[in-house]
Amino acid sequence: MSKSFSVPQAVRNAAKRGLELRKEHKRGGFDGKQAKRAGVGSGVQRASDLISGSVSYETVKRMKSFFARHSAYKEHHSDRSSAAYISWQLWGGNAGERWANRIVREEEARREREKKSVRKALDSFIALGEDNGLAR
């Protein structure tokens, strides 16, 4: 079972704005069918997920990847009707980028601490066995 994360209000607001802009300008982000054909995630689906208020860690990692790939298009964000800007908003906007990066960084650090803890416990268990004359 995947851990869920509560989506900050600023990220939810950006996603809502992205849907509004997409409807108004008829561009920006793929719908489900377009995304499937292109083999990528759907901006419309991502916006819906974010607006719902809770997403999985896998979704947060997809967001981080989206922002890394699409940051090259930020030069077009001064035009609030551009497909690049609208897509960015669908995925949570600048707030979404900051949030996704923070969540992934924190989760990776937490998982690394857990691995170290398990390694330490295993080393202690092995040492205990060796102290009691048990061979490896």
- CA proximity to 51, closest of 9, 97, 110: 9
What the block records as the tokens of 23 is: 């409807």
Which has the higher per-residue pLDDT, 47 or 125? 47
Which has the higher per-residue pLDDT, 106 or 27? 106
pLDDT tens readout for residues 78-105: 999 999 999 999 999 999 999 999 999 9
DSSP letter (8 states) at residue 77? T
